[in-house]
């Protein structure tokens, strides 16, 4: 990677030096896949002191009912239609709507100067952005909470440090991939009697303007890697938030633009593309020849459309799949049921890693020294959810709220469909729980249904609402076959397997590999089983329909830039 | 990268050890971009001894009039329609035509076992293949010569060691990208009171079946990188040669399959897909869901079709462009004219790096201490080509033969078109030269035409025949503008600039970077100015319409494999 040129301004040298230790540690972490973070993912006042939480909440509340000013090109109107799933009230924030052509033009102009900024300065500037976002994380937590429905604690961690970590991880890969290209070389070989000596210069060039299309329920987690990977490699990013979750991304864009400005760069390296549900704007960006990189997180419907139509551009997607669990045997059914219940309850199953479909042998499973029937397993799952719901504070901290009415509709339709399935049995109904702080919160506990394979049309589709299917199967081996087929055909981000039989685990592993399904085996305890650790857990394999945006590997960054070379005789 | 597992068979350990020094040297070369090769690219008997050339020629001749046996699945017929541009006679070789479905099925099966072979064994096996191909390089030289028209010397070097080097370069990148993924890790962090410790396994998975579509004029040079990158990363390769240049690729496939077999692997990791001009078969492979990687070298017409239609698969292309030269000033006009004349004469301009369009200021250029008029430049180019043609042995060694009648037709049509261009002037007519060894060789010297911008419809299109346009422009700066616009809109693989004015060079550089055009500045002397050195010269930037297959960068390899992980509690 180019170093800051000796004549570079002192403030840029200082910026690179300031963040060098973080970059070095990130590079070490992605290489060794150890646990590491430069941030604290707990909102505890023991870490942050008593003032920051209060100030962060106030900063969030100050946005309400106001215009969110972002001084970017081509503003033609203002819009905003966010509603808090906790209060049921409109946030009343309006955001600038820019003419797409103006944003693209500004990004093209910004590219011209941004590409000439030394790679290590670009990387350091992204780390500075990450630091500033971390400094505003209490404000971010409330903002994420009130547009997505994430609980406060999860919004703080999952949409804060955990998301920033994924961004820093992508930065480390971008730095690594760029460093792989020598900036210059001297080459010599004899041709006949001539000893030819050439000086060569290899220039890293950005690929073009990037558009980052964010999802509604977890916007920052995928956006940071895409934005940072783009910026590090010289590509401006136009950030297009989901119309119902704009605020977090407005904060991100504001911080990016301010940081760029503070260091003397064109702020239009990052802009915000706001649209509405009625008049979506993403395709206008995607179709523009200047736009060469599209990062999309969201529905399989639109993601699939992009995957089937985009040619000649770089497209990264994360959509969704049907995450499955296979239970062959357990050491302790209660522990397994608790792990699964917590995981499916987390953010009310609105996560891309939430388990949805649990395959259990119809004749039951070994449970420690004993045996658990199929119904025992179902009952244990019900009990574990009951336990979460029994304590409103626990329920609120885990489940948060349901972002959209659509998820309530999904569960309602599902319940109707189940009435025509004679073998299906509702184990635990989906019910609202009373949120201790927000009486008007839109909440719903997971619907738990015991089914057999006659319900394949229901459990083998992604249901975007809190539901857990417990599917009776002939055997655990059949379960693995079903689960991996589901991953291969419908996509999967995370798969789960419980077994105390090493031979079974060994023979199952291959099927998961071939389905391109990342597998967690026998996870219990304090860590959420669907927790994906930046720098360590590869997220999305690209081998099944759940998307191709692996967070993060070299493939996620290596095509975002190109190399242009020139050569000439040495000493000429 | 996974090492050979301790229990691996001895012959595989030995294979890895045998090729380890070559791999290490290749990794060093791509990092430093120095000149290096494990092969000798001269056919001299001083290097190879007196027997190998004779045996190689005999081995080539033994193929003539015979069936080329490749014992692969699904053979339904035999075909072959190659004609030597040197003798005008049919080679009479017939190749097996396999049912595409059978080849795909065999490749899918082969993938299952090949993916489990340790990456370093796969890399070593490719190096073994390369070594065996090098051992058959005299046979390969005659084979390439008689299907493409390359001269014997060029076929030996450019289609032999130089091409193998590009393949080994791709192998080095594949090894590097795979080595970037740790095979296993232990991860631990506290969650509340729990100290969670997880064992993680990261498995490299191939992306799917690869199809390598080879060009007619220089088949091995792009095929080796694609085949080796695929094989190293676990993807089987179906090799589809151009119907008029099958023999070199049949030899390659035979060597691959024999080497695979010798080491106990499924030979269907590499198969040959033969078709005819009348019934092309490539699209059948491309459309199959099992095929996930397409490497294409060939016409902009079909390459563009692939670029506009392929979605959701990995596509690498090298098509063609209009390579330009800008002459602003020279130290020695004769030296520059000689360099350009040699380069455009090399293989009669049938190379993707051949210069086609030379921009020269209409008022002439500084030439050393003096001045050269536009006509002086044109005359110098004519003189330099005359000098090559004057010696039949030199002409034969440089120009070789014209592969297809189509190139003669291109030049004939061009001459007709020029009759309606009043300002165009033929500086040197395209004429056949008498080949000293092959009286029936199809030969043609470059057509040299002096034109102005009224001929933009002719000089700004790729003309697939030997022609050099000398275009009169207002100034050298205007020339750079024209040349880089041409690169950006029509593509360019190699661009050339001649100037003794450092300020001019400096201000021109940026335009070439932004056009994504690799630039050679002031090259003269014994090295062909369009020589692209493996391990050092990046070939194809991906930033203009000439293609996206950079030989070789991380982007060429990083998406050919995926990572599937599993994790479980440590010591469980």
pLDDT for residue A37 is more than 70: yes
pLDDT at B134: 98
CB-nearest partner of B550 from A189, A198, A563: A563
| Chain B residue numbers touching A567 (CB-CB < 8 A) | 519-521, 523, 537
CA–CA gap between residue B241 and residue B249 (Å, rounded): 6
Are A472 and A452 in contact by the 8 Å Cβ rule? The answer is yes
What are all long-range contacts of A469-472, with beta carbons under 8 Å and residues at least 24 apart?
A: A469/A356, A469/A357, A469/A358, A470/A358, A470/A360, A470/A374, A470/A377, A470/A378, A470/A381, A470/A427, A471/A357, A471/A358, A471/A359, A471/A360, A472/A360, A472/A361, A472/A362, A472/A374
**How many angstroms separate the CA of residue A360 from the nearest CA in chain B?**
20
ipTM comes to 0.97
The answer for residues whose C-beta is within 8 angstroms of residue A153's C-beta and 6 or more apart is A43, A397
pLDDT for residue B5 is more than 80: no
CB-nearest partner of B554 from A185, A533, A554: A554
pLDDT in tens, A519-548: 999 999 999 999 999 999 999 999 999 999
CB-CB under 8 Å, A568 with B191 = no
CA–CA gap between residue B483 and residue A308 (Å, rounded): 35
Interior angle at CA B366, CA B363 and CA B372, nearest 5 = 60
A-B interface: how many C-beta pairs under 8 angstroms?
A: 205
Query: Sorting pLDDT into bands at 50, 70 and 90, what band is A1?
Result: very low
pLDDT for residue A4 is more than 70: no
- CA nearest to B554, candidates B178, B292, B296: B178
Is some CB atom of chain A closer than 8 A to the CB atom of B565? yes
For the entire predicted model, the pTM comes to 0.97
B148-177 residues touching A, CB cutoff 8 A: 176-177
**pLDDT averaged over chain B?**
97
- CA nearest to B411, candidates B456, B346, B465, B468: B465
pLDDT at B2: 46
pLDDT for residue A369 is more than 50: yes
Is A159 in a helix, a strand, or coil? coil
CA–CA gap between residue B479 and residue B471 (Å, rounded): 9
- Span B499-523, average pLDDT: 97
A26-85 residues touching B, CB cutoff 8 A: 31-35
- What backbone torsions phi and psi does residue B299 show, to the nearest 5 degrees? -70, 145
The 3 state secondary structure assigned to A323-362 is CEEEECCECCHHHHHHHHHHHHHHHHHCCCCCCCEEEEEC
| Chain A residue numbers touching B203 (CB-CB < 8 A) | 513
CA–CA gap between residue A438 and residue A142 (Å, rounded): 13
B290-309 residues touching A, CB cutoff 8 A: 307-309
Write the CA distances from B217 to A244, B145, B168, B394, integer angstroms: 56, 10, 21, 21
What DSSP line would sit under A197-211, residue for residue? EEEEEEEEEE-SEEE
**How many angstroms separate the CA of residue B404 from the nearest CA in chain A?**
30
Taking the alpha carbons of A123, A40, A25, B2 in that order, is the dihedral positive or negative? negative
- Closest chain B residue to A29, measured at CA: B187
- Give B30: exposed, middle or buried? Use CB within 10 Å, 0-12, 13-18, 19+: buried
- Span A207-211, average pLDDT: 98
CA–CA gap between residue A554 and residue A548 (Å, rounded): 13
- Closest chain B residue to A194, measured at CA: B526
Is some CB atom of chain B closer than 8 A to the CB atom of A342? no
pLDDT at B1: 44
CA–CA gap between residue B509 and residue B103 (Å, rounded): 47
pLDDT at A2: 46
pLDDT in tens, A81-139: 999 999 999 999 999 999 999 999 999 999 999 999 999 999 999 999 999 999 999 99
Strands, E, within A305-446: which ranges? Answer: 314-318, 324-327, 357-361, 365-367, 370-372, 425-428
**How many angstroms separate the CA of residue A255 from the nearest CA in chain B?**
29
Query: Sorting pLDDT into bands at 50, 70 and 90, what band is B7?
Result: low
The answer for residues whose C-beta is within 8 angstroms of residue B182's C-beta and 6 or more apart is A31, A32, A33, B202
Give the number of C-alpha atoms closer than 13 A to the C-alpha of residue B570, restricted to the C-beta side: 12
Are A532 and A494 in contact by the 8 Å Cβ rule? The answer is yes
Is A34 in a helix, a strand, or coil? coil
- Span A488-495, average pLDDT: 97
pLDDT in tens, B178-203: 999 999 999 999 998 899 999 999 99
Number of helical (H) and strand (E) elements in chain B, helices listed first: 20, 19
Are B281 and B211 in contact by the 8 Å Cβ rule? The answer is no
- Give B108: exposed, middle or buried? Use CB within 10 Å, 0-12, 13-18, 19+: middle
Other residues' Cβ atoms within 10 Å of the Cβ of residue B17: 11
pLDDT for residue B3 is more than 90: no
CB-CB under 8 Å, A518 with B185 = no
CB-CB under 8 Å, B562 with A513 = no
Query: Sorting pLDDT into bands at 50, 70 and 90, what band is A317?
Result: very high
The answer for residues whose C-beta is within 8 angstroms of residue A547's C-beta and 6 or more apart is A303, A316, A317, A318, A319, A491, A493, A540
- CA nearest to B350, candidates B515, B525, B514, B145: B145
CA–CA gap between residue B473 and residue B462 (Å, rounded): 19
Is B28 in a helix, a strand, or coil? helix
CB-nearest partner of B513 from A194, A203, A569: A203
Is some CB atom of chain A closer than 8 A to the CB atom of B550? yes
| Chain A residue numbers touching B562 (CB-CB < 8 A) | 516, 541-543, 550, 555
Other residues' Cβ atoms within 10 Å of the Cβ of residue A66: 12
CA–CA gap between residue B245 and residue B238 (Å, rounded): 16
CB-CB under 8 Å, B312 with A311 = no
pLDDT in tens, A420-458: 999 999 999 999 999 999 999 999 999 999 999 999 999
| Chain A residue numbers touching B522 (CB-CB < 8 A) | 568-569, 572
- Span B15-43, average pLDDT: 98
CA–CA gap between residue B269 and residue B109 (Å, rounded): 9
Write the CA distances from B292 to A384, B7, B104, B222, B281, integer angstroms: 43, 32, 11, 18, 16
Q: Is B192 left (phi over 0), alpha (psi -120 to 50) or beta?
A: left
CA–CA gap between residue A446 and residue A411 (Å, rounded): 9
pLDDT at A6: 56
- Span B274-297, average pLDDT: 97
CB-CB under 8 Å, B185 with A568 = no
CB-nearest partner of A34 from B187, B205, B559: B187
CB-CB under 8 Å, A527 with B187 = no
What percent of chain A is modeled with pLDDT above 70?
Answer: 99
pLDDT at B6: 56
Write the CA distances from B477 to A59, A512, B327, B509, integer angstroms: 54, 59, 10, 11
pLDDT in tens, B405-438: 999 999 999 999 999 999 999 999 999 999 999 9
CB-nearest partner of A538 from B194, B553, B563: B563
Is A59 in a helix, a strand, or coil? helix
Say how far residue A457 (Cα) sits from the centre of its chain.
Answer: 28
What percent of chain B is modeled with pLDDT above 90?
Answer: 98
| Chain B residue numbers touching A555 (CB-CB < 8 A) | 558-559, 562
CB-CB under 8 Å, A513 with B203 = yes
pLDDT at A8: 77
pLDDT at B571: 79
**pLDDT averaged over chain A?**
97
Is some CB atom of chain A closer than 8 A to the CB atom of B179? no
Query: Sorting pLDDT into bands at 50, 70 and 90, what band is A272?
Result: very high
Strand partners, B178: none
CB-CB under 8 Å, B569 with A522 = yes
The answer for residues whose C-beta is within 8 angstroms of residue A227's C-beta and 6 or more apart is A167, A210, A212, A237, A239, A252, A256, A270
Among A564, A568, A572, pick the best mutation site for testing chain B contact (most B Cβ within 10 A). Answer: A564
A229-268 residues touching B, CB cutoff 8 A: none
CA–CA gap between residue A318 and residue A219 (Å, rounded): 12
pLDDT for residue B376 is more than 50: yes
pLDDT in tens, B122-151: 999 999 999 999 999 999 999 999 999 999
Write the CA distances from B479 to B327, B328, B338, B451, integer angstroms: 8, 9, 21, 14
CA–CA gap between residue B148 and residue B82 (Å, rounded): 10
CB-nearest partner of B541 from A310, A522, A564: A564
Is some CB atom of chain A closer than 8 A to the CB atom of B541? yes
CA–CA gap between residue B169 and residue A319 (Å, rounded): 35
The answer for residues whose C-beta is within 8 angstroms of residue A262's C-beta and 6 or more apart is none
- Closest chain A residue to B565, measured at CA: A518
**How many angstroms separate the CA of residue A26 from the nearest CA in chain B?**
14
């Amino acid at each position: 990677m180019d170093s800051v040129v000796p004549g570079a301004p002192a403030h840029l040298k200082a910026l690179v030096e300031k963040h060098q230790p973080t970059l070095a540690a990130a590079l070490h972490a992605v290489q060794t896949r150890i646990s590491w973070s430069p941030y604290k993912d707990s909102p505890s006042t023991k870490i942050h002191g008593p003032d920051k939480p209060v100030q962060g909440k106030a900063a969030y509340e100050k946005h309400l009912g106001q215009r969110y000013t972002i001084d970017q090109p081509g503003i033609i109107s203002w819009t905003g239609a966010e509603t808090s799933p906790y209060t049921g009230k409109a946030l009343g924030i309006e955001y600038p709507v820019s003419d797409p052509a103006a944003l693209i033009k500004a990004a093209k102009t910004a590219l011209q100067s941004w590409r000439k900024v030394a790679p290590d300065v670009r990387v350091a500037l992204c780390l500075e952005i990450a630091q500033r976002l971390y400094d505003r994380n209490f404000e971010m937590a409330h903002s994420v909470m009130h547009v997505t429905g994430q609980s406060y604690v999860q919004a703080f961690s999952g949409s804060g440090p955990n998301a920033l970590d994924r961004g820093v991880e992508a930065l480390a890969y971008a730095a690594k991939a760029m460093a792989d290209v020598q900036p210059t070389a001297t080459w010599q070989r004899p041709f006949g009697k001539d000893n030819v000596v050439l000086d060569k210069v290899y220039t890293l060039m950005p690929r073009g303007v990037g558009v980052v299309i964010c999802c509604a329920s977890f916007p920052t987690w995928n956006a940071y890697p895409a934005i940072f990977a783009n910026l590090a490699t010289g590509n401006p990013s136009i950030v297009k938030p989901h119309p119902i979750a704009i605020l977090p991304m407005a904060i991100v864009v504001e911080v990016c633009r301010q940081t760029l400005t503070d260091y003397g760069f064109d702020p239009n390296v990052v802009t915000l593309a706001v649209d509405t549900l009625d008049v979506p704007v993403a395709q206008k960006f995607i179709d523009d020849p200047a736009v060469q990189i599209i990062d999309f997180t969201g529905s399989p419907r639109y993601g699939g459309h992009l995957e089937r139509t985009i040619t000649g551009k770089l497209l990264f997607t994360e959509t969704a799949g049907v995450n499955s669990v296979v239970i062959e045997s357990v050491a302790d059914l209660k522990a397994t049921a608790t792990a699964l219940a917590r995981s499916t309850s987390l953010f009310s199953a609105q996560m891309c890693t939430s388990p949805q479909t649990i395959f259990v042998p119809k004749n039951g499973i070994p449970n420690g020294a004993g045996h658990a029937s199929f119904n025992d397993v179902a009952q244990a799952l019900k009990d574990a959810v009951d336990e979460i719901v029994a304590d409103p504070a626990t329920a609120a901290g885990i489940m948060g709220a349901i972002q959209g009415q659509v998820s309530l509709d999904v569960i309602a339709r599902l319940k109707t469909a189940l009435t025509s399935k004679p073998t299906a049995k509702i184990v635990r109904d989906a019910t609202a729980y009373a949120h201790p702080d927000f009486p008007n919160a839109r909440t719903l506990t997971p619907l738990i249904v015991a089914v057999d394979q006659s319900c394949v049309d229901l459990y083998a589709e992604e249901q975007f609402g809190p539901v857990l299917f417990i599917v009776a199967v002939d055997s655990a081996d059949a379960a693995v076959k079903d689960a991996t087929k589901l991953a291969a055909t419908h996509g999967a981000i995370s798969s789960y397997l419980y077994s105390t039989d090493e031979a079974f685990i060994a023979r199952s592993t291959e099927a998961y590999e071939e389905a391109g399904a990342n597998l967690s085996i026998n996870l219990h305890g304090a860590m959420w089983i669907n927790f994906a650790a930046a720098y360590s857990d590869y997220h999305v394999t690209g081998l099944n329909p759940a998307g191709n945006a692996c967070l993060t590997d070299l493939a996620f960054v290596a095509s975002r830039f190109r190399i242009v070379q020139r050569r000439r005789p040495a000493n000429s």
